[in-house]
Structure 1
Amino acid sequence: MPDNTKLAAPSVPRQRDQEPVRREHVNAMIDLHPGGLTWRRTFPGTPDQVPHARHFTRYLLADAPCQDDAEQIVAELCSNAIKHTSSGSPDGTFIVEITRTTTTTTIAVYDCGWGGVPCFGIRCRTNAEHGRGLAVVAALADQVGYEGGDAAGHKVWARIRG
């Protein structure tokens, strides 16, 4: 997969002595690319990588109003990939993909397959210690879904307006 980290420049946090990134500058950059800007990063499939995935998301969305929600969504989806698919096996990986347009941010996590498929519509108890992750994702996002299957892996995604 190509490394698109060069595209992160519009959302790089400024130094203290410079003014903050202005939203209209980011939107101008996004408008230059049909379909918006997309970044992807592959992480080892271990629980200690979830904070790194959160940091990656926070960094790319430094100027976005949905930054906190996107960071929480990434944490939930990455944790599910590690726990419920072969991404969490030795040598497993997961991929975080963030796509920004001027109106939406889409967060996707790709897993290595061979696990359960996400069920976004299941209600859970508010005091449950496990099984609330997808309910949290669905509550924070405007749209959710998944694609793929066991053999090739799954892409689980959430889209946020704004």
Structure 2
Amino acid sequence: MPNITEPAAMPARLHIPRQREQDPSADPVLREHIDAMIDLHPGGLTWRRTYPGALDQVPHARHFTRYLLADSDHRHDAELIAGELAANAVRHTASGRSKGTFIVELTRTTATTTIAVYDCGWGGIPRFGRLFGIDAEHGRGLAIVAALADQFGYDGDEEVGHRVWARMLQPGG
């Protein structure tokens, strides 16, 4: 059973505003056209890409996300989420070991955008509600993800790996 956490379950100490709001009138592609294309596929559109398990691949995962969501209001937040989840996969699981990999998956419907990162396992369980000291140099990644996402969670286990995901609702969705 997947572990799903709503942001309300998080400590109230952290508030991160949404990044750069876009003026919809400046968008050259009509939202109705994008939504119509997405609706042609039951369950929305899904893209996946596999990366070597190295930190120098995290910017490539961010770029992949930004490129696929270029017309989305959530593109900046999604890019940041993908980067945080990819970095965690490399740092805290077997994905960062020799011949390790991680997978970035984006699923887009007219109502939601979901970013997921699959790791190779043998690492810790993702802890979204972890508290950290104000002077801590590490440990804020999942707190940032939780602050930006409307829902988040993980599936899997240490042996087969985890799918750590974050979902953002489309405006009006």
CA distance in structure 1 between the aligned counterparts of 2:77 and 2:136, rounded to whole angstroms: 21
Offset, 1:77: 0.3
Give the structure 1 partner of residue 102 of structure 2: 94
TM-score, normalised via structure 2 length: 0.81
Corresponding position: 1:48 with 2:56: yes
1:154 aligns with 2:159: no
CA deviation after TM superposition for structure 1 residue 125, in Å: 2.8
Q: Offset of 1:21 from its aligned partner?
A: 2.2
Q: Is the CA contact (8 Å cut-off) linking 1:124 and 1:135 kept in structure 2?
A: no
Q: Which residue of 2 aligns with 1:57?
A: 65
Q: Which residue of 2 aligns with 1:143?
A: 151
Partners of 2:165 and 2:41 in 1: CA distance: 21
- Give ranges in structure 1 of 5+ residues lacking alignment: 1-18
In structure 1, C-alpha distance between the alignment counterparts of 2:135 and 2:166, rounded to whole Å: 24
Instruction: Structure 2 unaligned segments of length 5 or more: list them.
Output: 1-26
Identify the match of residue 131 of structure 1 among 139, 156, 159: 139
* Larger CA deviation: 24-33 vs 124-133: 124-133
Number of matched pairs: 144
Match of 1:106 among 97, 111, 114: 114
Letter in 1 for 2:95: S
Could you tell me how far 1:24 is from its partner in structure 2?
A: 1.2
The one-character-per-residue Cα deviations of 1:70-122 (angstroms, maximum 9, x if unpaired) are 00000100000000000000100000000000011000000000000100111
Question: Could you list the per-position Cα deviations for residues 103-159 of structure 1 after superposition, in whole angstroms to 9, with x for gaps in the alignment?
Answer: 110000000000001001112234321000000000000001000011111000000
Could you tell me the percent identity over the aligned residues? 69
Q: Specify the alignment match of 1:71 in structure 2.
A: 79
Residue aligning to 2:19 = none
What amino acid does structure 2 have at the position aligned with 1:137?
A: V
Q: What TM-score comes out, normalization by structure 1 length?
A: 0.86
Whose relative contact order is higher, 1 or 2, with alpha carbons under 8 Å and at least 6 apart?
2
Distance in 2 separating the partners of 1:122 and 1:44: 28
Q: What is the DSSP-based 3-state SS (H/G/I as helix, E as strand, rest coil) of the residue aligned with 1:121?
A: coil
Check if 1:84 corresponds to 2:79: no
Within the candidate set 38, 44, 48, 1:36 is matched to 44
> Structure 2 vs 1, CA of residues 161 and 126 (structure 1 numbering), >3 Å: closer, same or farther?
farther
Pick from 101, 119, 124 the counterpart of residue 127 of structure 2: 119
